[in-house]
């Protein structure tokens, strides 16, 4: 069955694209930031908070949901959307990345990757077919193939061998879920480390198989920032023109704007949620460390340029007090703000692309976050 085109480009500004992705749970205006909902919750906030901050699509981690509560339990409860009461689109990663990042004990082979649960030490095997089955049980709108993400700094020979395995696994994922098999989309993941020729080879192999979208993996995994930006500039515009392009695990505000100017449409990163919980807040004037004593009696809003519930309602003095007192409310209010900042950033990018002013937005973010580009 021929699939209708799921992605439409509405405007361009250089390589930057303003687009629209259609999914079974609604359309996604791109460029878009996806809050990370690791085990079926975006930590410290509820679905109503997510809607209030402008979230369109969120991310779930297959590895974590498979181990707890279990993908088959989620399927019996009606799928992840119903289970967590999120009615918008959901993207799930394949779990391979978490296997590598959370498990010392793992065995990589042609069949798949064997690992022990970080929860109870039980043994498991993720194969391409298994991770597709898990994501079908979860019912995510966008599924990711099983891939191997070579550690940052891996040598060229290892990266070359690894991308071959990633391609063979991607082909098995596609065979397990052929185009048109259902309403879920399947995205391929381009690997190839910091080597342009290997990146192009990985992309050519994946494009030959054919996916509804294409991700750049293997970045923001410990490589030098200059190497990430070099690969981003080389590969972003080379990804298939009429498919959504997803930069996995990225990134800082400047990384995101740089990704957009290089043709990326979708981003996910734990920075806004994780840093909210350690008091690092993103604002129009750069990062604010809310625990600093200077805020003890500061009645001003966290960010006068932000219209989120936190900035509309509370002072920096109160936010500092909650953080220092280790109040649970601190996590929620800080997360609401940080997510709103990242979601507003991509919303402003959508407007900037339509107006042809992406360069001005990038200059503004580079000035507010000079440390990001280092």
Q: What distance in Å separates the CA atoms of residue 260 and residue 266, rounded to the nearest whole number?
A: 9
- Which among 338, 346, 369 has a CA at the least distance from the CA of 272? 338
- Binding-site residue total for ligand DPZ (CB under 6 A)? 13
Question: Is residue 255 at the binding interface for ligand DPZ, with CB under 6 A as the rule?
Answer: no
What is the Cα gyration radius of the chain? 20
Contacted by 34, from Zn ion, ligand DPZ, none: CB < 5 to 8 Å by type: none
Nearer to Zn ion, 258 or 335 (CB): 335
Nearer residue to Zn ion within complex by CB, 214 or 369: 369
Chosen from ligand DPZ, Zn ion, none, partner binding at 220 (C-beta under 5 to 8 Å by type): ligand DPZ
The answer to whether residue 55 forms part of the interface with ligand DPZ (CB under 6 A) is no
**Quick check: is 303 catalytic?**
no
Partner whose footprint covers residue 147, from Zn ion, ligand DPZ, none (CB < 5 to 8 Å by kind):
ligand DPZ
Q: Which of 13, 141, 147, 372 is close enough to bind ligand DPZ by CB under 6 A?
A: 147
Tell me whether residue 56 or residue 191 sits nearer to ligand DPZ (CB atom).
191
Contact present, 34 and 57 (Cβ < 8 Å): yes
- Least separation in angstroms between residue 165's CB and ligand DPZ is 13
Q: 211 — phi, psi (to 5°)?
A: -135, 165
87 is catalytic: no
Of 88, 213, 218, 253, the one binding ligand DPZ (CB under 6 A) is 218
Ligand-binding annotation for 308, yes or no, is: yes
303 is in an annotated binding site: no
The DSSP code sequence of 217-282 is -S-SSS--HHHHHHHHHHHGGGS-TTS-EEETT--SHHHHHHHHHTT--EEE-SHHHHHHHTTEEE
Question: How far apart are alpha carbons 32 and 223 in whole angstroms?
Answer: 24
Short-list 136, 131, 196, CA closest to 166: 131
Strands (E), the chain: 7-13, 16-23, 26-30, 32-34, 58-61, 90-93, 106-108, 113-116, 123-126, 142-144, 185-190, 213-216, 245-247, 266-268, 280-283, 286-289
Q: Closest distance between ligand DPZ and the C-beta of residue 97, in Å? A: 3
142 belongs to the binding site for ligand DPZ (CB under 6 A) = no
Beta carbon of residue 10, minimum distance to ligand DPZ (angstroms, whole number)? 27
97 is in an annotated binding site: yes
- For residue 337, the partner it binds in Zn ion, ligand DPZ, none, with Cβ less than 5 to 8 A by kind, is Zn ion
Residues forming the site for Zn ion (CB under 5 A): 306, 308, 310-311, 337
Which of helix, strand or coil describes residue 152? coil
Burial class from Cβ neighbours inside 10 Å (0-12, 13-18, 19+) for residue 179 reads middle
Q: Pick the catalytic residue: 255, 268, 303, 344?
A: 268
Residue 71 labeled ligand binder: no
Q: Which residues here bind ligand DPZ, judged by CB under 6 A? A: 93, 96-97, 147, 149, 189, 217-221, 248-249
Give the residue numbers annotated as catalytic, written as ranges. 93, 268
Binding-site residue set for Zn(2+): 306, 308, 311, 337
Binding-site residue set for substrate: 93-97, 147, 191, 218
């Amino acid at each position: 069955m021929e699939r209708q085109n799921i992605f439409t480009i509405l405007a361009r500004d250089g390589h930057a694209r303003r687009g629209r992705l259609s999914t079974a749970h609604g359309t996604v205006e791109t460029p878009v930031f996806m809050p990370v909902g690791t085990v079926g919750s975006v930590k410290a906030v509820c679905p109503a908070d997510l809607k209030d901050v402008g979230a369109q699509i969120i991310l779930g981690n297959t590895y974590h949901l498979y181990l707890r509560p279990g993908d088959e339990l989620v399927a019996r409860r009606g799928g992840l959307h119903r289970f967590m009461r999120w009615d918008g689109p959901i993207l799930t990663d394949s779990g391979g990345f978490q296997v590598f990042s959370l498990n010392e004990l793992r065995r990589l082979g042609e069949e798949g990757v064997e690992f022990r649960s970080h929860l109870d030490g039980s043994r498991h095997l993720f194969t391409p077919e298994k991770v597709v089955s898990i994501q079908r049980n979860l019912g995510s709108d966008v599924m990711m193939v099983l891939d191997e993400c070579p550690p940052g700094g891996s040598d060229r020979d290892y990266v070359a061998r690894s991308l071959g395995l990633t391609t063979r696994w991607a082909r098995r994922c596609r065979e397990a879920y052929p185009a048109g098999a259902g309403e879920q989309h399947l995205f391929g993941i381009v690997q190839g480390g910091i080597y342009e020729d290997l990146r192009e080879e990985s992309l050519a192999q994946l494009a030959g198989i054919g996916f509804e979208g294409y991700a750049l993996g293997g970045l923001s995994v410990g490589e030098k920032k200059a190497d990430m930006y070099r690969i981003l500039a080389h590969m972003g515009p080379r990804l298939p023109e009429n498919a959504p392009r997803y930069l996995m695990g990225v990134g800082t505000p400047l990384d995101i704007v740089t990704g957009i100017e290089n043709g990326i449409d979708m981003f996910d990163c734990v920075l806004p949620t994780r840093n909210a919980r350690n008091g690092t807040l993103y604002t129009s004037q750069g990062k604010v460390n809310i625990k600093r004593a200077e805020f003890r009696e500061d009645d001003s809003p966290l960010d006068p340029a932000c219209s989120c519930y936190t900035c509309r309602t509370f002072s920096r003095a109160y936010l500092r007090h909650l953080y220092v007192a280790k109040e649970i409310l601190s996590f929620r209010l800080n997360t609401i703000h940080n997510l709103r900042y990242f979601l507003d950033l991509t919303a402003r990018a959508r407007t900037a692309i339509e107006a042809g002013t992406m360069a001005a937005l990038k200059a503004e973010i580079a000035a507010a976050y000079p440390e990001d580009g280092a």
